[in-house]
Structure 1
Amino acid sequence: MEEKDVRYQKVQFGAWVGIIGNIILALIKGIVGFLANSRALIADAVHSASDVVGSVAVLIGVRAAKLPPDKDHPYGHGKAESVAAIIVAVLLFIVGVEIAINAFKSFFEPVVVPKVIAIYAVVFSIVVKEIMFRYKYNLGKKYKSDALMTDAWHHRSDVFSSIAALIGIGASIIGGHLGVGWLTYGDPVAGIFVALLIVKMAWKLGKESIHNTLDHVLHEEDTVELRRIVDSVEGVKSIDALHAREHGYYVIIDIKIAVDPHMSVEKAHAVGKEVKEKLMEEKHVHDVLVHINPYAG
C-alpha cells in the first residue's frame, strides 16, 4: 500500500474517532446537564456537538486532499485540509460567542443549583477528551494534517472547558449546600469562562490555518536538507532560488539552478531531471519545477 494511502486511512480513522466520541459525549453531557440543571454542562455539551461538525469537516477535507491533480488543480488538493481547518475554527468561534451570550443571560434569571451527577459527567468528559486530544494530535503531527491537528486542539479546548465547568458546578453545589449565595453563580460564571477559552482557541487556530493557505513557503532553515540534495547533483553550479510551497501535508518546490553555460540543452535538461528525481524521493515532496540558468561565475 502506498504511503499516501496509509496516511489517508490513518487520518480518516482519526476523524471518525472524533465524530463517534463527540456524539457520545454530547449526548451524555446534554442529557445529564438537562437533568442536573447545569448551564455549564449544557454549554459543554454544545461544545462537544460542535466538535462533531468539526470532525465531519475534517473528514471531508481529508478526502478532498487525497484527490489526484487534475486540469483545474495541477498542484493537487492538499490545501483542502487547511480549508477544513478554517471551517472548524469559524464554527468554534461562533459556538463560543453563543455560549457566552447564554451564560450572561443566566445572571438575570433565578439561579438553579446543579445536581451532583453533573460532576461525574464532567470528569468522564475530561478523561475521554484528553485521550482523544493526545491521539489525534500525535496522528496529525505524524502525517502533517492541519485539519486533524486543528481538530485535536478542538478536543483540548473541550478539556479546558470541562475543567472550568467542573470548577463552576462544584462551586455552585457547595454554595447551595452552605447557603453562600454568590457561590451559586459559579455555574454560569464557568459557562462564560468556557466561552472565552473557545473563542481564543478559535482565533489562534483560524489564524494559523489561513496562514497555511496563503502559499506559505518553508523558511531557509527548513530547506537545508533539500539544498544539500540539489548540491550533490553533478552539473549543478549553484542554486539561484528555492521555494518550497506548502500545500497541506506536502510541498511543491520551485527551484532555479545554474549550470555550465556551454553545456548542451540536452545535458542541462538531464541535470534538471536528476535534481527533480532526487528531490521527489523525499516523502513530503509532491512535485518539483526546475528552471535552468546559465552559471555566471
Structure 2
Amino acid sequence: MSEEDIRYKQVQFGAWVGIIGNIILAIIKGVIGVIANSRALVADAVHSASDVVGSVAVLIGVRAAKRPPDRDHPYGHGKAESIAAIIVAVLLFIVGIEIAISAGKSFFEPVVVPKVIAIYAVIFSIIVKELMFRYKYNLGKKYNSTALMTDAWHHRSDVFSSFAALIGIGAALLGARYNFAILEYGDPIAGIFVALLIIRMAWKLGMESIHTTMDHVLHEEDTAPLREVASAVPGVLSVDELHAREHGYYVIIDIKVGVDPNITVEEGHAISKEVKRSLLEQDHVHDVLVHINPYKE
C-alpha cells in the first residue's frame, strides 16, 4: 500500500470518527436535554448535529482529493480538501451566530431551571469532544489535511459551547437553590462569550483555507531545502527561480535552473529529468515542472 493510500484511509477514518461521534452525542444530549428540561443542553445537541454536516463535507473533500489527475485537472484534485475546509469554516461561523442569537433571546424569556442530570451529560460531551479534537487535529497535522484540522477545531468549538452550557446550567441550579436570581442569567452571558470565540475561530480558519486555495506559494525559508536538493544535482549551476504551490495536502513545484549553455539539448533534458526525480522524492511533492536556462554569472 502506497503512502498516499495510507494517508487517504487514515484521513477518511478520521472523518468517520467525527460523523459517528457527533450523531451519538447529539442523540444523548438531545434526549437528556428534554428529560432535564435544559434549553442549553438541547441547543448544544443541535450544535453537535450540525457538526455532522461539517464532517460529511470533510469526507467528500477527502474522497475528491484522492482522485488522480485527469484531462481537466492535470494537477490533481488536492484543493478539494481546502474547499471542504472553507465549507466547515462557514458552518462554524453560522453556528457561532446562531448561539449568539439564542443566548440573546434567553434574556427576554422566562427562566427555566434544569435538572442535575444535565450537568453529567455536558461533562461527558466535553470529555468526548476534547478527545475527538486532539485525535483529528494530530491526524490532520500528520497528513497535512487542512479539512481535517479545520473540522478538529469545529470539535474544539463544541467544547467551548458545552463548557458555556455547563456554566449556565450550574449557575441556574445554584441560583434556584440559594434564591439568587442573577445567577440564572449565567447561561446567556457565557453563551454570547463563547459565540464570539467561535466566530473569531471560524473567520481565522476560513481565511487560512482561502489563502491556500488561491495558489499560495511556500515562503523562501520553507523552500530552502528544496533549492538545496535541486542545486545538488550534477550539471545544475544555479537555481534561478523556485515556486512551490500548495495544492491541498501536496505541493507542485515550478523551477528554473541554470546549466552550461554549451551542452546539447539532450544533456540539458537529462539534467532536468534528474532535478524532477530528486524533488519528487521529497515529502508532499506531487509534480515538478523544470525549465532550463543558460547559466550566466
C-alpha displacement of 1:41: 1.6
| 2-structure distance, mates of 1:196, 1:169 | 20
CA contact (8 A) 1:50 1:92 kept: no
| Deviations 1:178-199 (CA, angstroms, capped at 9, x unpaired) | 1101111122223323322221
C-alpha change, 1:34 and 1:195, in structure 2 (3 Å) is farther
Deviation larger for 18-27 or 97-106: 97-106
In the alignment, structure 2 segments of 5+ residues that lack a partner are none
Counterpart secondary structure, 2:114 = coil
The whole-number CA distance in structure 1 between the counterparts of 2:66 and 2:236 is 34
Other-structure match for 2:53: 53
Distance 1:221 1:149 in 2: 23
Matches within 5 A, 1:128-147: 128-147=128-147
Aligned to 1:253: 253
Cα root mean square deviation, aligned: 1.0
What's the counterpart of residue 109 of structure 1?
Answer: 109
Q: Tell me the alpha carbon deviations over residues 125-170 of structure 1, each in whole angstroms, 9 at most, x when there is no partner.
A: 0110111111111110110000000011111111122112111111
Which whole-Å CA distance do the structure 1 matches of 2:152 and 2:217 have between them?
24
In structure 1, the partner of 2:149 is 149
How is 1:212-231 mapped onto 2 (pairs within 5 angstroms)? 212-231=212-231
Between stretches 60-69 and 103-112, larger displacement belongs to 103-112
Q: Is the 8 A contact 1:133 1:155 kept in 2?
A: yes
Q: Does structure 2 retain, via aligned residues, the 8 Å contact 1:54–1:87?
A: yes
Match of 1:88 in 2: 88
Structure 1 equivalent of residue 263 of structure 2: 263
- CA distance in 2: counterparts of 1:193 and 1:123, whole angstroms: 19
**TM-score in terms of structure 2 length:** 0.97
Q: CA deviation at 1:46?
A: 1.9
Matches within 5 A, 1:4-43: 4-43=4-43
Q: Distance in 1 between matches of 2:159 and 2:105?
A: 24
Specify every segment of 5 or more residues in structure 1 that has no aligned partner in the other structure, as ranges. none
Q: Identify which range, 120-129 or 178-187, moves more after superposition.
A: 178-187
Whether the 8 Å CA contact 1:38–1:187 is kept in 2: the answer is no
Structure 1's consecutive aligned runs of 4 or more residues displaced over 6 angstroms after TM superposition are: none
Distance apart, 1:70 and its partner CA: 0.6
Select between 142-151 and 100-109 the one with higher mean Cα deviation.
Answer: 100-109
Residue 166 of structure 1 aligns with which residue? 166
For 1:42 and 1:190, how far apart are their aligned partners in 2?
16
> 1:8, CA displacement in angstroms?
0.4
- State the identity %: 77
How has the CA–CA distance of structure 1 residues 252 and 272 changed in structure 2, closer, same or farther, with 3 Å as cutoff? same
Amino acid at match of 1:79: K
After TM superposition, the score normalised by the length of structure 1 is 0.97
